[in-house]
């Protein structure tokens, strides 16, 4: 039993399970808003709630597992990542492959039980999620690919409810894309020298810290803009507008933290962005009820 518990903890560390807080709120935001449009109620039922959770978890586990599998050589040469389970032997390559396959199949099966469009989209979604691991080896657009990967969450949410893709869900997704790409740029500041040494293509290693921080600010300005457009096109109310304002304040605070001290990157990355998603979710929840 102790060995099983330890292995579960190793896999949880491998895929950084606690970071699911970034994607989950925006899946359910889209599901709630779509449900109001279709059913007149924000509650979309227990079945879709459970399937939504499983879809989000299996998709993220697949993406992170695939990334850790592909990055074994890179992570071993980075002082910040050399103690990860995919490097130090706690999770073997064969175990990672099994984990990747199980979660990919799990995602496809869950999508099948949601609806036909979700099932058809599950295959290109998995392809996009896997492509991030390759992009950073030849293009600094990898940050955008990561943003797109998480930005698919709201579209997946609305497809689950309506089996269509709405304009407001696309705008919400673009906002998420810029949000994730923006904070990934800040997080990547920690690895400038390592990326240069290993020949990896990140925006910080190509353009330097100052330009990276400026690009991140532009991305986060776009985040607020597209989330505002989402609120307008979805005919949401006061609390949805408040969610956008609060997000703008929190993103500004994130940049203030980084500008003052690069040692606070972890705080800015996880704490501020984690709370941002949760606060945004609860304000939309209030707005839809």
Residues with Cβ within 8 Å of 161's Cβ and at least 6 positions away in sequence, in order, are: 30, 31, 34, 35, 38, 44, 48
Confidence of residue 262 (pLDDT cuts 50, 70, 90): low
pLDDT of residue 201: 82
What pLDDT, in 10s, does the model give residues 124-168? 999 999 998 888 888 888 999 999 999 999 999 999 999 999 999
As a dihedral over the C-alpha atoms of residue 186, residue 188, residue 193, residue 194, rounded to 10 degrees, the angle is 170
Percent of the chain clearing pLDDT 70 (strictly above): 90
Stretch 63-71: mean pLDDT, rounded?
91
d(CA 179, CA 233): 19
Beta carbons of 182 and 213 less than 8 angstroms apart: no
d(CA 51, CA 46): 9
How far, CA to CA in Å, does 234 sit from each of 29, 37, 169, 228, 241? 12, 9, 8, 10, 11
d(CA 150, CA 263): 25
What are the counts of helices (DSSP H) followed by strands (DSSP E) for the chain?
14, 0
Model's pTM, two decimal places? 0.93
User: Residue 18: pLDDT above 80?
Assistant: no
Stretch 254-279: mean pLDDT, rounded?
78
What is the three-class DSSP state of 40? coil
d(CA 95, CA 99): 6
Stretch 33-58: mean pLDDT, rounded?
94
Stretch 209-238: mean pLDDT, rounded?
96
pLDDT of residue 207: 92
Q: Which of 156, 275, 172 is nearest to 223 (CA)?
A: 172
Q: Is the dihedral of CA 252, 256, 259, 261 positive or negative?
A: negative
pLDDT of residue 28: 95
User: Residue 191: pLDDT above 90?
Assistant: no
Stretch 255-265: mean pLDDT, rounded?
74
**The token pair that represents 55 in the structure block:** 């879809």
Beta carbons of 89 and 7 less than 8 angstroms apart: no
Angle formed by the axes of helices 167-188 and 142-162, nearest 10°: 150
User: Residue 196: pLDDT above 70?
Assistant: yes
User: Residue 260: pLDDT above 70?
Assistant: no
User: Residue 7: pLDDT above 90?
Assistant: no
d(CA 271, CA 266): 8
Residue matched to tokens 């979309």: 44
Beta carbons of 253 and 276 less than 8 angstroms apart: no
Confidence of residue 192 (pLDDT cuts 50, 70, 90): confident
pLDDT of residue 21: 63
User: Residue 289: pLDDT above 90?
Assistant: no
Stretch 50-63: mean pLDDT, rounded?
93
pLDDT of residue 52: 93
Stretch 189-206: mean pLDDT, rounded?
86
DSSP one-letter code for 50: H
Domains contained in the chain, CATH given? 2-288 (1.10.357.140)
Confidence of residue 198 (pLDDT cuts 50, 70, 90): confident
């Amino acid at each position: 039993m102790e060995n099983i518990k330890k292995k579960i903890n190793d896999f949880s560390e491998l895929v950084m399970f606690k970071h699911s807080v970034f994607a989950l709120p925006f899946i359910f935001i889209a599901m709630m808003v779509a449900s109001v449009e279709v059913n007149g109620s924000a509650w979309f039922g227990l079945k879709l709630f459970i399937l939504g959770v499983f879809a989000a978890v299996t998709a993220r586990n697949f993406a992170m597992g695939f990334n850790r599998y592909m990055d074994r050589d890179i992570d071993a040469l980075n002082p910040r990542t050399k103690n990860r389970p995919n490097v130090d032997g706690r999770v073997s390559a064969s175990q990672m492959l099994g984990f990747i396959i199980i979660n990919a199949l799990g995602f496809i099966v869950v999508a099948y039980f949601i609806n036909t469009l979700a099932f058809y989209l599950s295959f290109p979604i998995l392809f996009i999620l896997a492509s991030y691991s390759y992009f950073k080896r030849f293009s600094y657009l990898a940050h955008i690919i990561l943003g797109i990967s998480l930005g698919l969450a709201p579209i997946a949410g609305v497809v689950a409810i309506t089996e269509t893709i709405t304009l407001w869900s696309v705008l919400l997704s673009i906002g998420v894309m810029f949000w994730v790409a923006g904070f990934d740029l800040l997080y990547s500041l920690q690895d400038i020298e390592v990326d240069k040494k290993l020949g990896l293509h990140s925006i910080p290693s190509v353009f330097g810290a100052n330009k990276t921080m400026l690009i991140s600010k532009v991305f986060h300005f776009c985040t607020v803009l597209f989330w505002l457009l989402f609120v307008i096109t979805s005919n949401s109310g006061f609390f949805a507008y408040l969610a956008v304002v609060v997000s703008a304040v929190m993103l500004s605070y994130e940049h203030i933290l980084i500008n003052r001290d690069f040692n606070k990157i972890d705080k800015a990355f996880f704490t501020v962005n984690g709370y941002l998603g949760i606060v945004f979710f609860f304000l939309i929840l209030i707005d839809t009820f």
